């Protein structure tokens, strides 16, 4: 699948560059400002997860992002070659509203924010790449 390809080393300080690049792409498409913000955040969360969990913080991996624009929307694939996500049910977790400090969630907010940002999220583990696929349809009338 052809698309716009981006790649960074697996270092957290580089993730913002992926986010800004995706923001730039989305700003040229029929998305609202809030949707652009959410898509930038989703890509950053996916890349952070790849670095922190798949590569376990090791800086010698790479995180690749492929952005495909079609007639109806956007498909963003975030790929890594680290350890796969073991518990894919996390992809569907809802956040409960914490009522006190003790109920604050320890993790899982990143995947929740990704789900909130896009229409659908898919995940394929290994062989050889782990791929998180995010799809988002255009909301505004195409120019």
Partner 1 sequence: MEFVNRTEQDITVVSIRGQRMDAAAAPQFKGHMVDLIQQGGTRFVLNLEAVDFMDSSGLASLMSSMKTLGGHGEMVVCCLGDKVRKLFAITRLDRGVFRIFATEVEAVTALSSSAKPG
Positions touching partner 1 (CB under 8 A) are 12-13, 15-16, 19, 34, 37, 40-41, 44-45, 48, 51-52, 95-101, 104-107, 109-110, 112-113, 116
CB of 142 to partner 1, least distance (A): 25
Is the C-alpha dihedral spanning 85, 88, 89, 93 positive or negative?
positive
3/108 with CB nearer partner 1: 108
Please say whether the beta carbons of 62 and 7 come within 8 A.
Answer: yes
Asked, as a colleague might, if the bond just before 27 is cis with ω within 30 of 0, I would say: no
21/68 with CB nearer partner 1: 21
60/94 with CB nearer partner 1: 94
């Amino acid at each position: 699948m052809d698309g716009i390809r981006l790649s960074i080393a697996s270092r957290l300080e580089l993730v913002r560059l992926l986010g800004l690049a995706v923001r730039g792409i989305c700003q040229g498409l029929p998305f609202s400002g809030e949707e652009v913000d959410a898509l930038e955040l989703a890509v950053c969360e996916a890349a952070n997860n790849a670095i922190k969990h798949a590569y376990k913080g090791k800086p010698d991996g790479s995180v690749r992002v492929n952005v495909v624009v079609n007639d109806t929307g956007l498909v963003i694939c975030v790929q890594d070659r680290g350890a796969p996500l073991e518990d894919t049910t996390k992809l569907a977790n809802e956040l409960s509203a914490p009522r006190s400090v003790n109920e604050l969630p320890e993790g899982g907010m990143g995947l929740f924010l990704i789900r909130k940002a896009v229409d659908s999220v898919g995940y394929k583990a290994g062989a050889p790449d782990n791929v998180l696929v995010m799809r988002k349809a255009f909301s505004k009338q195409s120019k």
